[in-house]
Structures are given as C-alpha cells and as structure tokens.
C-alpha cells in the first residue's frame, strides 16, 4: 500500500514508502509525514513501451512551479491505460523524447506516472525523482519546463468541469509536491524562464498563465482558486501534525507543558 497518512500509518509506517530527503525546517521523520506519496499507476502498469523513449532526460534539483494542464483528449474513456499509451505514442511521434507530462490524472482520480525519471524498485513509489532526489524535467510548457512539474487532467475541460474524484486527486498531488518542494500553495514568486525572462507567477498555475493556449480549459481554471485553498489546508495541517509528532518522538512521554518548540 502506498497511500499512507499520518492518522493511518504513523511515523514508522509512513517512512517505509517515502523517499528520504530533508525539508529545510524539519528532519527526515517529519518529511515522511508531510509528503506521503499518493498511489500512482506506474509506467509498467499502464504499459509504456520503453523502447520508444529516446534521449536521456534532464533533471532539476529544485522545483518552483506546478503547472496544471488538460490533455485535450475526449472525456469518459473506458480504458485509461490505453489512453495514456496513446498520449505517450502521440508525444514520441511528435519527436518528444518521452511523454511530456510528469503526472496524469483520469476522471476517476487515478494518478499515472508520466515522464520516466528512473527505474524504481518494485517497492518504491514512482515519485518522478531519481536516486539523487532530482525531479525529472518534462516537456509540457514551452520555455517553462525547468524547475516545474506538469500535471495533466486527462480529457477536455473547457465547458465540462473536471469530475470530483479527478479534482480530489489533483489536490492530493499538488499537496504532495508543495510539501516536497516547500512551495506555498497560495503563494507566488519570480520565475526565470528558458529565455532568461523573469516573470512573477503563482506557485500553482494554469498552462494558460504562461502561454496562449486553451489548456487547461476554462472549467479547470475556474476551480484553481479553490484547489489552491484546499491544498494549503492540507499542507498546513500535515506540517503541524509532523512537528508535533516529531516533538513527541524526540522527547518521549513528557507532560505537554514541558515540551519546547521545535
Ligand atoms: Zn497544457
């Protein structure tokens, strides 16, 4: 089971499924609690033909922006593994080295591994990071692929809103990546694009914020303010929980009033 939470798993259980790493403010134990990796359908499971992947990928040691897309494909497919394979095949046929997106989400809220980062061991979650904990770079947003993660909703959401399970999964993925990369879900910051232009952008943004495109659809764009707010709630709650569990862990069964701030 990859879906671990603070309430369900506790520190020891959560740590088994989460890549090691350190948050600037917290230790590895707390990190396990604040970025539990969601359940993800691996490339092997959706049937990626790895022989079609061409150049080795690039990686970033820092992530600054999470870019929301839709795939502009038809909605309500019966076989989403086949749909993901179609998108992969289309991208490599257009001379991309691999599928363009880092992660994809279907209408039932199933999350799929996108661009290949490394060959993960069977018991490891496909986090999109290599053994050096660097994020693999996608090809989802022209001149804005460095230090960004592209998350694609599978379908077209101009007039039709993304279904509730899909939005819930998007929130879950964004909370994971905001925690992992220390991004404020409702914040914004300067970003230097590949042409060297500095632009001030939200940390969670629509593809249309950086390029003239319909992506991720008007209906998705309309949801982003509430999505950001939900992500912030989750991230803040996990951080608080992690801090208190780490204090308890370090200090043992002492009376609460004797605990110091950590
Ligand atoms: Zn897009």
Spacing, Cα 40 to ligand 1 middle (Å): 21
Count of CB atoms within 10 A of residue 185's CB? 24
Task: Report which of 32, 35, 51 is spatially closest to residue 43, judged by C-alpha positions.
Answer: 51
Query: What domains sit in the chain, N to C, each tagged with a CATH number?
Result: 40-258 (3.40.80.10)
Nearest CA to 6 out of 258, 172, 15, 112 is that of 15
Residue pair 178/235 in contact by the 8 Å Cβ criterion: yes
Which residues line ion ligand 1, judged by CB < 5 Å? 69, 207, 215
Give 156 Cα–ligand 1 centroid separation in angstroms.
Answer: 11
d(CA 60, CA 102): 13
Task: Determine the distance separating the centroid of ligand 1 and the alpha carbon of 71, expressed in angstroms.
Answer: 7
Q: What is the pLDDT of residue 5?
A: 35
Biggest CA pair distance of the chain: 63
- Name the pLDDT band for 102 (thresholds 50, 70, 90): very high
Q: Tokens 């053994």, residue?
A: 131
Cβ atoms within 10 Å, residue 208: 17
Q: How far is the CA of 69 from the centre of ligand 1 (A)?
A: 4
Average confidence (pLDDT) over 182-209: 97
Which pairing describes strands 198-202 and 103-105: parallel, antiparallel, or unpaired? unpaired
Judged by DSSP in three states, 233 sits in helix
What's the pLDDT band for 242 if we cut at 50, 70, 90?
confident
Q: Rounded to the nearest whole angstrom, what is the distance from the C-alpha of residue 216 to the centroid of ligand 1?
A: 6
Dihedral over Cα of 62, 66, 104, 139: its sign: negative
CA–centroid distance, residue 162 to ligand 1 (Å): 15
Interval between CA 197 and ligand 1 midpoint (Å): 20
Give the pLDDT band of residue 27 (cuts 50, 70, 90): low
Cα(135) to ligand 1 centroid in Å equals 19
How far, in Å, is the centroid of ligand 1 from the Cα of 140? Answer: 6
CA of 142 to the centre of ligand 1 (A): 10
pLDDT band at 186 (very low <50, low <70, confident <90, very high): very high
CB atoms within 10 A of CB 200: 8
Rounded to the nearest angstrom, the distance between the alpha carbon of 148 and the centre of ligand 1 is 13
Distance 67 CA to ligand 1 centre (A): 8
pLDDT in tens, 211-225: 999 999 999 999 999
Separation between Cα atoms, residue 89 and residue 200, nearest integer Å: 34
Geometric angle at alpha carbon 151, from 145 and 156, rounded to 5°: 115
CA distances, 121 to each of 35, 127, 255 (Å): 19, 12, 42
pLDDT at 8 over 50: no
Contacts with 226 (C-beta within 8 Å, 6 or more apart), sequence order: none
- Dist. CA 141 → ligand 1 center (Å): 7
Residue with tokens 């150049």: 55
Q: Under a CB-based contact definition with an 8 Å cutoff, are residues 31 and 246 in contact?
A: no
The percentage of the chain sitting over the pLDDT mark of 70, rounded to a whole number, equals 82
d(CA 49, CA 207): 27
């Amino acid at each position: 089971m990859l879906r671990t939470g603070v309430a369900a798993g506790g520190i020891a259980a959560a740590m088994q499924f989460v890549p090691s790493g350190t948050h600037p403010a917290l230790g590895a134990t707390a990190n396990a609690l604040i970025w539990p990796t969601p359940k993800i359908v691996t490339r092997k499971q959706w049937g990626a033909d790895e022989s079609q992947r061409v150049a080795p990928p690039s990686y970033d040691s820092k992530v600054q922006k999470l870019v929301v897309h839709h795939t502009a494909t038809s909605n309500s497919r019966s076989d989403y593994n086949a749909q993901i394979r179609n998108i992969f095949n289309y991208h490599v046929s257009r001379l991309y080295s691999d599928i363009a997106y880092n992660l994809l989400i279907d209408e039932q809220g199933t999350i799929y591994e996108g661009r290949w980062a490394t060959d993960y061991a069977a018991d490891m979650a496909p986090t999109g990071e290599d053994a050096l904990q660097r994020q693999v770079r996608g090809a989802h947003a022209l001149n804005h692929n460095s230090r960004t993660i592209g998350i694609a909703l599978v379908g077209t959401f101009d007039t039709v809103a993304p279904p509730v399970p899909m939005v819930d999964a998007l929130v879950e993925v964004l909370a994971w990546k905001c925690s992992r990369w220390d991004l404020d879900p409702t914040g914004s910051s300067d970003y230097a694009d590949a042409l060297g232009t500095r632009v001030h952008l939200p940390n969670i943004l629509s593809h249309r914020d950086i390029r003239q495109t319909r992506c991720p659809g008007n209906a998705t764009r309309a949801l982003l303010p509430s999505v950001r707010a939900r992500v912030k709630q989750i991230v803040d709650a996990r951080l608080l929980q992690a801090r208190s569990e780490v204090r308890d862990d370090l200090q043992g069964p002492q009376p609460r009033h004797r605990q110091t701030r950590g």
